Structure 1
Amino acid sequence: MKINTLRFGEIEVSEDKIIYMPHGLIGFPELKRFFIVGEEGQLIRWFQSIDEPQVALPIINPFELFPNFSVDISDSDLEDIELRDPVDAVIFLVMVIPRTNPRGATVNMKAPIVVNAKNRKAKQVIALNEDYPVRYPLFPSEGGT
């Protein structure tokens, strides 16, 4: 399938790379099909919408920056994506990178995207961890908010 994206131009995406979000993203419930742009191991990758090609969100693997990251997820969220074994979970945090101050970048630890690697279903969940912020600065000494 060819997707003509705003940020990356035309990209060929194989069906087995498509991630399906039955409930869409928080704030974008109509966007249900995505794929990841970038290679595993890259710090920043992109969660690219297929349904709305101008929507692409920067994402990170939390374990690359926060080795002790652990997220508590409700049973109903796990059921929504048919995730039974934690080993099959792939987790991403959505970044916000201010255009005028990239060093003010933050990640949303409160609402990670959880992907079931076996069936490619995903959900942006609200973590049960009470101490996780919506805007965690990646560069605290740089004045991220």
Structure 2
Amino acid sequence: MKVETAQFGQIEVPEEQIFSFERGIPGFESHTRFALIELPEGPFAYLQSLEDSHIALLITEPFVFYKNYEFDLPESVVEEMNIESDLMIRNIVTLNIKPEQSTINLLAPLVFNVANKRARQVILHSSEYKSRHPLWSNHESSTPIEKAGE
């Protein structure tokens, strides 16, 4: 599928990388179809809106930065998304002019059902995770909660 992007112009994205966010994403509720555009180098990707070429969120695999990141997915979400096994988790990254001050939203992961191409941002209630954990940290052995307090 040809996708128009503000960053790369028009690019070809395989159908298997198109996901439906039936509820949209908080702040972008009217945008329900997104393309996952993997970047060739590193752990980052763009989540590109198919409705607006100027809306693209930088995302990453959280386990690259927080090896101990874990949460329980609410059963209601598992049922709604019809999740059986093929699950992918990504988190939104907020870049800063000073790269060392960039953050990752661990409080609201993006959950992708790879099998049926449905996705949703899930807000973790009763969690100690924050929406702005430091992305870069020199303390590899620290837990996410310890890192967030630095």
- The answer, yes or no, to whether TM exceeds 0.5 is yes
CA distance in 1, matches of 2:41, 2:107: 23
Answer yes or no: is 1:134 the counterpart of 2:115.
Answer: no
- Deviation beyond 3 Å, 4+ runs, structure 1: none
- Farther off after superposition, 37-46 or 6-15: 37-46
The answer to whether the 8 Å contact 1:90/1:117 transfers is yes
Answer yes or no: is 1:62 the counterpart of 2:47.
Answer: no
Identity rate of aligned residues, in percent? 31
How far off is 1:81 after superposition? 1.4
CA distance in 2, matches of 1:140, 1:3: 34
CA distance in 1, matches of 2:74, 2:125: 7
In the alignment of these two chains, the number of paired residues is 140
Q: What is the TM-score when the length of structure 2 is the normalising length?
A: 0.84
Counterparts of 1:12-51 in structure 2 under 5 Å? 12-39=12-39, 42-51=42-51
Specify every segment of 5 or more residues in structure 2 that has no aligned partner in the other structure, as ranges. 139-147
Q: What is the TM-score when the length of structure 1 is the normalising length?
A: 0.86
Note the alpha carbon deviations across 1:55-100, whole angstroms, 9 max, x for none.
1111110111222211222112222211133xx11000100002x2
Specify every segment of 5 or more residues in structure 1 that has no aligned partner in the other structure, as ranges. none
Quickly say closer, same or farther: Cα 1:79–1:40, change in 2 above 3 A.
Answer: farther
CA distance in 2, matches of 1:117, 1:41: 22
Q: Secondary structure at the match of 2:63?
A: helix
What is the root-mean-square deviation in Å for CA atoms of aligned residues?
2.1
2:54 is aligned with what amino acid?
Q
The answer to whether the 8 Å contact 2:89/2:112 transfers is yes
